[in-house]
Structure 1
């Protein structure tokens, strides 16, 4: 569930039962990671813009003016469009729908993935087969074409309708990883002991299984949110959603329609592209930090690597660190040298 192929790292890094910590301690360990802090700071800035962006906008995003195709200036921070609309106001007004759809659909998809994945991995018999078949069906379905078809058939495509469509098409990968982890955990000794003590299935799932899946669930939430961000921008860019509701994809749609790239109107398409890239980078940094917490092989940073070298250990990513020792000297060679 990561961008650069670290999904196996998450899947292989199932935490041992003894390593389960309280949410407060997990939060402190995650916040100690510089990547997580940077990513959360960027996300917090975008949420702040989503809350107060409508009041910070210098103009009405729909207001027409005679100042057409003006570059960035004091009156228009990011220039104007072919109809004189202020691009900075459009971006600020479009931040809230993007954040609500991306994080809302990410949360909904993660909840669906938890229900289907954990239930499919813990249960047995026909229930496991049905949930596994359902996950496989949604895995092979092309997500973007399905979203386009479903969204185009809705009578009114609002923000929450788009979020629901994205959530219903983006939960399968998280469910597959959670199912694999649950299959591994249900055979552990602590789960068998809980069953032998007569604990109910609900208590085992909520107090034994899910706490051990905390990092996997967090990774699924972050990456599903990233998928939802790209999906909502894509749907708006191709004109599936309502063009009267401003978001970053809508700004890019009008820039592409008016051939901003061919005409050199860089202030029209670069700012929304940068917003998408920066928010995506922030989510990726959070995911990398969670991976480093969940997978001990990724925890060795520059400071840890220097400490290991001083101890005579050569750190190698993906392998067990090996201590380098001097070769044993032959006593016969010492006598000859003497």
Structure 2
């Protein structure tokens, strides 16, 4: 499974982009500061709204701040929100959806009621209200809010899959051998949901990045934090589109689009490997065809 997973070009390209952005989030601010000597918060009135050039590769914004330095610094904030929000949302979906499908009965009724409650709740208005009350608390709180309200759809899917796996022969055999409790759920049932959980995590990750950008665009975010969403929100406030300052809002928007593309590519690759209906026979190269022909002739 792991070997086939890495042989898909979609998975390799998607993971390459995600790893690149993760490295950029971890080491980017240090590299920009040490190599280029740029500070994303420094205001230089001499270079206000300058287009991309040799001194500033991505230009400067209305406040004289270097856009490249802000994009790199924003990668840390946006990737942090995306990863933390995805971890929280996926963990809640697993802890609620899998036991509900496996145990059934009253456990399923109670957990399913909680899932249905969150499914019918207007998530975006709730996020706006809660984030509005907690305005200025930082990107960690924003990520936790996004993850807390974004688990119900995944929990419903995991419940259905766990319900199917719970009735398979190997699970019944484990019960007959005396296996009970959470170990059977998380050691025997959960590993069969790895592909689905990976897809859920990627979907939750790009959803958290876009949700943070949307909250920042609406002004419900920590104004002191630097992320791609706060960059787009600042550009909108200063009418960057009408003034033709495309280098201010295009780079962060392009980064968000690349993250979404990378997650989609990895997701497609996981589906092609985990779902037998989507598996496509790989074309045999000329060299391998000759080798197979020789082997067949020798036999």
TM-score normalised by the chain length of structure 1: 0.80
SS at match of 1:303: coil
Give me the CA root mean square deviation: 1.4
Correspondence 1:117 to 2:97: yes
After TM superposition, the structure 1 = structure 2 runs for residues 241-320 of structure 1, keeping only pairs within 5 Å, are 241-300=221-280, 303=283
CA distance in 2, matches of 1:97, 1:83: 20
CA distance in 1, matches of 2:127, 2:137: 12
SS at match of 1:137: helix
CA distance in 1, matches of 2:123, 2:12: 31
Corresponding residue for residue 40 of structure 2 = 61
Q: Is the 8 A contact 1:56 1:92 kept in 2?
A: no
Q: Is the 8 A contact 1:49 1:92 kept in 2?
A: yes
Corresponding residue for residue 8 of structure 1 = none
In the alignment, structure 1 segments of 5+ residues that lack a partner are: 1-25, 305-338
CA distance in 2, matches of 1:84, 1:283: 33
TM-score normalised by the chain length of structure 2: 0.90
CA distance in 2, matches of 1:126, 1:52: 49
Correspondent of 1:200 among 180, 200, 203: 180
Correspondence 1:230 to 2:210: yes
Deviation of 1:155 after TM superposition, in Å, equals 5.9
Corresponding residue for residue 29 of structure 1 = 4
Mean Cα deviation higher: 218-227 or 201-210: 201-210
Correspondent of 2:86 among 101, 106, 109: 106
Specify the structure having the higher radius of gyration (Cα). 1
Deviation of 1:93 after TM superposition, in Å, equals 0.9
CA distance in 2, matches of 1:245, 1:203: 42
Correspondent of 1:95 among 51, 58, 75: 75
CA distance in 2, matches of 1:181, 1:213: 8
Correspondence 1:41 to 2:16: yes
Corresponding residue for residue 292 of structure 2 = none
Q: Greater helix share, 1 or 2?
A: 2
CA distance in 2, matches of 1:225, 1:268: 24
CA distance in 1, matches of 2:282, 2:192: 28
Corresponding residue for residue 187 of structure 1 = 167
